[in-house]
Amino acid sequence: MSLRPVVRVVRGMETSDGAGVRLTRMLGTPELPDLDPFLMLDNFKSDSPDDYLAGFPDHPHRGFETVTYMLAGAMEHRDHRGNRGLLGPGSVQWMTAGRGIVHSEMPRQENGLMWGFQLWINLPAKLKMCEPRYQDLAADRIPERSVGAAKVRVIAGRSGDIVGAVQEIYTDPLFLDVALPAGESFEHAVPAGHSAFACAFEGAVSFDGHPWPVQAGQLAVFGDGDAVKATAGEDGGRFILLAAQPIKEPVARYGPFVMNTRQELEQAFADFRSGRF
């Protein structure tokens, strides 16, 4: 196997979104605007209710997918079509916004730790106006496996003989949550030609060929190859590993909409204002 080199390491940018939820934007910043087909990755983590209670009230999306992965706390989803779901620790929601969704994501706790990730993934032109759909998966539906000393949760893609919980996604994504004890290593196949990155969120992890460890709160972008190798630091390490097939199409994005042209963006705003979602 050809191990993928780390070509770039970035630290997240502190910001806020929704009605003032404080978070760290790892991808979708001036330093790293996107990584086709990945558009944005946010890490929200706080045990202060003032940082998260305002939540994400009603807002629209069109033309891409949102993925919410909860590590701690509880978040409730509602949309304008009457759908409703509750995300608890370890659960995943993979929402394909398609032609249009107006939804809210609100905390269902008044104290304690709220922690998770939200990822945005682009859709190709032929699917941007597809019917919206959800894959809501409770924690006990996410398969887990051991790879040596590593504990791996397989959210999407394939790890060994285990197929991820999320199915039928156009960009053929790999989404793993990997926990490594101190000093232990982990190696995993990643399809050649796919965009790939890892985001550390506990401890520190060294990736093969990179001169220094990637710390919690940093994101490592990989060059091409067909595998990734990681070794945990002295306090262990945990990271999410993501890869997906690039779409290689023009991207026109503004706020909650991601289309291919400015005209399509204008149409999205017009449709939202006139209630045609």
* Residue written as token pair 């032929």: 126
H or E segment and range at residue 239: strand 227-244
Report, as an integer, the average pLDDT of 126-154: 96
> How many domains is the chain partitioned into structurally?
1
Q: Quote the tokens at residue 150.
A: 């590593």
Per-residue pLDDT of 59-76, as tens digits, reads 999 999 999 999 999 999
Residue 78 belongs to a domain: yes
pLDDT at residue number 270: 97
Residue 207 to residue 217: CA distance in whole angstroms: 15
Query: Residue 193: inside a domain, yes or no?
Result: yes
pTM, two decimals, is 0.96
Containing 94, the helix (H) or strand (E) segment is: strand 92-96
Instruction: Say whether 69 sits in a helix, a strand or coil.
Output: strand
Q: Whole-angstrom Cα distance, residue 209 to residue 173? A: 24
Q: Which amino acid is at 189?
A: A
* Residue 1 belongs to some domain of the structure: no
Confidence of residue 19 (pLDDT cuts 50, 70, 90): confident
Confidence band for 209, pLDDT divided at 50, 70 and 90: confident
What range defines the domain where residue 174 resides? 6-273
- Mean pLDDT, the chain, integer: 96
**CA angle, 223 then 231 then 199, to 5°:** 55
Residue 152, pLDDT > 90, answer: yes
Tokens of 135: 């894959």
Inside any domain, residue 83? yes
User: If we measure between CA atoms, which residue out of 243, 182, 240, 185 comes closest to residue 216?
Assistant: 240
Q: Residue 225 belongs to a domain with what CATH number?
A: 2.60.120.10
The pLDDT tens digits for 169-208 are: 999 999 999 999 999 999 999 999 999 999 999 999 999 8
* DSSP annotation of 2: -
Residue 16 in any domain: the answer is yes
* CB distance 169 to 119 below 8 Å: no
Do the domain assignments include residue 18?
Answer: yes
The predicted model gives 70-84 an average pLDDT of: 93
Share of the chain above pLDDT 90, in %: 93
Residues 89, 131: Cα–Cα separation, whole Å: 28
Q: What is the mean predicted confidence (pLDDT) over 231-247? A: 97
Average pLDDT over residues 114-138: 97
Euclidean distance between CA atoms 231 and 150, whole angstroms: 10
Structure tokens belonging to residue 28: 């979708």
d(CA 8, CA 219): 8
